[in-house]
Chains A and B, each alone.
Chain A
Amino acid sequence: MLSFSHPFIVDGQKGFDSMRTPLRGILAIPILLGVLPLAALATVVPCFAQAPPAPGARFVVVLDAAHGGDENGAQLALSGDPKQTQPEKAFALAFSVRLRSLLVARGITVVATRDGDSAMDADHRAETANRAKAQACLSLHASTSGSGAHLYISSLAPAEPARLAAWKTVQAAWVTRSLALAGSLNAALTHAGVPVTLGRTALPGLDSMACPAVAVELAPVLATSHMQAAALDDPAYQVRVADAVAAALVEWRSEAPQP
């Protein structure tokens, strides 16, 4: 169980007590007028009481659709006609948009590294993620090799956070959190019936992200004795994976320390 301190509330209370009584009384009226209806509403609509947004808390997820512009990534064969292919950059962007809408609907702030077919180098992606001060960063990829979802975290050795960190090893201080995030994603995807493989890799950009970062590579599901096949361009499969990832991030929001 994690415990959090709330310096803002403590300091605010001190400041409130130090005010002179008439001023405090004047300020108390609008506060009471605002709080009482909410308290009454909380008894009627339980969801308000279940998940009150912490003051100042901002849960941000960065979605990094891989490749873009001249960089196509893998050529993904479509299930209908194997001769027709779709570039990985288009698939990653479409999946990013789908996931973004699910996350926004769940009250999560989403920052996307790209919204269109634009070229972007790895350093720019990491810069975008680091500026967002996100609680989760997902690098989205697709491939026709393997089966199900491949979750990769940085292969850097874990290190203590430092005031000054080398650009190419920033992720080292976050590897432990990245591993925990990969665990949440693994649990949600497995629960959704998607086979998952976990690994560590050296992916340009991922090592420079100052956030819990996981590269998610989606592949078609190969049929096994206890698993039905699913094509990469199967909308039902994409929805299943996106729902599972969104559920994992909602779960992660409840576990992650607030900034």
Chain B
Amino acid sequence: MIPRHQTILFIVLLLTSAVMGVFLWQMRDRAHKRLVEGEDTAPIEAPLVAPAEQVTLYVASDADNTLVAQPLTLPLPASPGPRARAILGRLLDLYAAPNAPHPVAGGESAIAQVFLLPAQGDTAQGLTLPATAPPQPPASGASAASSTPVQDSGPQLAVINLTGAFAASHPSGLETETLTVLSICATLHANLPGVTQVRFLVDGQPRATLAGHADLSRTYLADQAVPSEGSHP
């Protein structure tokens, strides 16, 4: 037999719980209405759209081992680092498209970062010897490129950080790897003439070759990658 005072206590607690539940439900509805009323989805400022500019991509062709200049109009950011990344991303998008003349998977996402640094080192013999300390990304994250101090005048070294997935999926072969490297160098120099040297990293680390053939440990002279009219690279 349950004592009477316990029964009364139970009923009081039950009623209190029910009242609190109703009160909370009303509070939730009230908060939701306040949130919806306060949210203004109407645009206030016009979105920033980068102006479209003409760029030149040097598109590789496996069939005849050539780089062909292809003019294109692209909206580009003003900062040189993101600008270089956007241009190279568009180039690699062409290679990732179906029936591409130089099929390479990856597309724009293959370029993790592009860092522009003042060029230095001995460029005799058309290359610089690998430095004892490889170039390191100055900061992590994609925003690092925009924060990198860039010299607008004077020769620049572009350090291109490729993703490991891109290097792993790149077709192995002397011709195809050479064309990829040269088309990147030539495209960079054509659109950013200050870039005279190019080095490659993969996942932020130096790597011997792209996919077993093309040397990634050396510094490429970008201006020498631009083919003369009708010539092979």
A residues engaging B (CB < 8 A)?
A: 67, 71, 73-75, 88, 141, 143-147, 150, 152, 155-157, 159, 166, 168-169, 172, 197-204, 207, 215, 217, 219, 222
Contact = CB atoms under 8 A, between A and B. Distances in A.
Contact of B214 (A197, A198, A203, A222): A203
A219 B224 CA distance: 26
A143 B212 CA distance: 12
Contacts of B63: 146-147, 222
A155 B126 contact: yes
A219 B175 contact: yes
16 contacts: A71-B212, A143-B172, A145-B62, A145-B171, A155-B126, A156-B126, A166-B125, A168-B127, A198-B232, A199-B65, A200-B233, A202-B220, A217-B173, A217-B174, A217-B175, A219-B175
Contacts of B220: 202
Contacts of B212: 67, 71, 73-74, 88
Contacts of B52: none
A204 B181 CA distance: 14
Contacts of B217: 204
B175 A150 contact: yes
B31 to A, nearest CB: 61
B90 interface: no
Interface in B140-164: none
B174 A201 contact: yes
Nearest to B130: A168
A152 B182 CA distance: 14
B102 to A, nearest CB: 8
B214 to A, nearest CB: 6
A197 B177 CA distance: 15
B173 A201 contact: no
B19 to A, nearest CB: 72
B109 interface: no
Given A169-B125, A198-B232, A222-B63, A141 B214 contact: no
A159 B126 CA distance: 10
A147 B178 CA distance: 15
Contacts of B125: 156-157, 159, 166, 169, 172
A75 B170 CA distance: 12
A141 B215 contact: no
B209 interface: yes
A117 to B, nearest CB: 16
Interface of B: 62-65, 125-127, 129-130, 171-176, 178, 181, 208-209, 212-215, 217-218, 220, 224, 232-233
Contacts of A147: 63
Contacts of B233: 199-200
B206 to A, nearest CB: 13
Contact of B65 (A67, A74, A146, A156): A146
Which are the 6 A-B pairs with shortest beta-carbon distances? A143-B173, A74-B172, A197-B65, A202-B215, A157-B126, A217-B174
Contact of A74 (B171, B178, B232): B171
A150 B65 contact: yes
B127 A145 contact: no
Contacts of B214: 201-203
A67 B172 CA distance: 11
Nearest to A206: B215
Contacts of A143: 171-176
Contact of B173 (A74, A156, A172): A74
Nearest to B126: A157
A204 B215 contact: yes
Contacts of B224: 155
Contacts of B218: 168, 202
A74 B211 CA distance: 8
Contact of A166 (B129, B178, B209, B215): B129
Contacts of A219: 173, 175
Nearest to B220: A202
Contact of A145 (B129, B176, B232): B176
Given A71-B212, A146-B65, A150-B65, A199 B232 contact: yes
Query: Most chain-A Cβ atoms within 10 A of its Cβ — which of B130, B173, B233?
Result: B173
A197 B175 contact: yes
A197 B232 contact: yes
Contact of A146 (B62, B181, B209): B62
Given A147-B63, A169-B127, 4 more contacts: A75-B172, A166-B129, A198-B232, A219-B173
Nearest to B66: A197
A231 to B, nearest CB: 16
